[in-house]
Structure 1
């Protein structure tokens, strides 16, 4: 009999819960005659997620050494096990996530990875699983490295970021109720639908992770357009115009 592996069991439990919610969302959509899922797109998303899972070991190897080196040269000893430390880490991770996410939309090197997440044309829970394979390989983890240098243990940083991303899983849906006054503080499915929309008025808005406060503070918050359905997926890019001139084609062949 194999010994109990809590990490493996937790990972299996998370996957089981996620699959259960995706199935529930699909069934609710079917009962409501709301076309939430495209089966081919969903299959492609699961393929992307499977590939991402396969390279996690490589990602961990890339990330581990810089974080441990930063922590070994930390300025302070910040204990995330205390209430104050946990709150500070939560706010710090969400603040950094906001700027990391915003940069991922404006810097092509980062967008090359993040654009994969914005490619689904249906807003459902499976969209949360469609993540680019090259995030840590291309240096996305560097945004969070200062937290280890300040004094938070790398495991605590990973746990806080994991909790942030777990919350965001439930933002990728069209069937969640509104949060009321909490939407002034918390990111919500309504806010995140705007972020994923490819409509012009929604572009580069609502970058927050758990909180929407930083979008409100830094001018990137937007409400959903009234009375207009949102369009999801990547915006079509017009082909480059080919400039033709006689000097470019001396023989007249164009």
Structure 2
């Protein structure tokens, strides 16, 4: 999960708590696999589990380099902010939460519809099983592609980068439990919250389920903007990419879509076609 973002947001004194939180997340993912294997006596892909842990370790190594193309723009937005919005009232917290949810929706939708961002996000959709361990597989190149730019408007409005990034990290932490496909529907909460049922659909590669349910904590923006798709009783989700990735090699998982993107750019003719490949939807013809 995004413990590095939280660490920078909360300061070094929070590190023991964040390590404990990461330990709980890893313990929950491991427990799920153990129950599946030894209690339910059902198949569980432990190699995919190991690949997800390797992805997490690789992302930590890349993050340690401190490279981020969005960081200077976040700093610039803070320097030229319209006002300063301290988190001193419930209304300020609510505004930041809703603003962050909207920005996350915009980012997540772009991550599926713009190939430049999909090259990183495809890593998260590469597991062919939906498990808690799959939630840990987020790719290594997010900070190098500028995904934080989607949250710059909140900083420009007056929320500190620390508050914005901390709220985003909490959003991503919430989504960990959404990757448990064995959890049932949650009744009326399904209308407002993003739930495991909605996230099953999001991770499905069935044509009927593609590109939907982009919300983080909430599902309301999907309902408002027409990207909500409910789970159908007659159509079980088929997890993974539309072209399944059958590998447990962390390097191939991290860079398989970047390699395909580079190949398509090499074959492209002219600047216009290359721009269409970079910023058009995945799978579209140049």
Contact 1:66 1:145 in 2 (8 A): yes
Deviation at 1:53, TM superposition (A): 0.8
Distance 1:60 1:91, change over 3 A: farther
Give the 5 Å matches for 1:25-174: 25-30=32-37, 31-35=39-43, 37-59=44-66, 62-174=69-181
Contact 1:59 1:137 in 2 (8 A): no
Residue from 190, 195, 204 that aligns with 1:183? 190
Contact 1:93 1:160 in 2 (8 A): yes
**Secondary structure in structure 2 of the residue aligned to 1:88:** helix
Give the structure 1 partner of residue 236 of structure 2. Answer: 229
Structure-2 separation of matches of 1:19 and 1:175: 18
Q: Which has the higher contact order (CA 8 A, sep 6+)?
A: 2
Gaps of at least 5 residues in structure 2 are 1-11, 245-286
Q: Which runs of 4+ in 1 moved over 4 A?
A: 59-63
Greater helix content? 2
Deviation at 1:223, TM superposition (A): 1.1
Structure-2 separation of matches of 1:144 and 1:122: 30
Structure-2 separation of matches of 1:187 and 1:135: 23
Deviation at 1:169, TM superposition (A): 0.9
Deviation digits for residues 215-251 of structure 1 (CA, Å, limit 9, x no counterpart): 11111111112133211111128xxxxxxxxxxxxxx
Structure-2 separation of matches of 1:121 and 1:80: 41
Deviation at 1:76, TM superposition (A): 1.4
Structure-2 separation of matches of 1:32 and 1:158: 39
**Secondary structure in structure 1 of the residue aligned to 2:159:** coil
Deviation at 1:118, TM superposition (A): 0.4
Give the structure 2 partner of residue 252 of structure 1. Answer: none
Structure-1 separation of matches of 2:232 and 2:182: 17
Contact 1:206 1:222 in 2 (8 A): yes
Contact 1:172 1:192 in 2 (8 A): yes
Deviation digits for residues 98-143 of structure 1 (CA, Å, limit 9, x no counterpart): 1110011111111111111100001001111111211121111111
Give the structure 2 partner of residue 11 of structure 1. Answer: 18
Structure-1 separation of matches of 2:76 and 2:160: 11
Give the structure 1 partner of residue 199 of structure 2. Answer: 192
Deviation at 1:71, TM superposition (A): 0.9
Give the structure 1 partner of residue 267 of structure 2. Answer: none
Aligned residues: 233
Contact 1:46 1:129 in 2 (8 A): yes
Deviation at 1:69, TM superposition (A): 2.2
Gaps of at least 5 residues in structure 1 are 238-254
Deviation at 1:156, TM superposition (A): 0.3
Structure-1 separation of matches of 2:214 and 2:126: 16
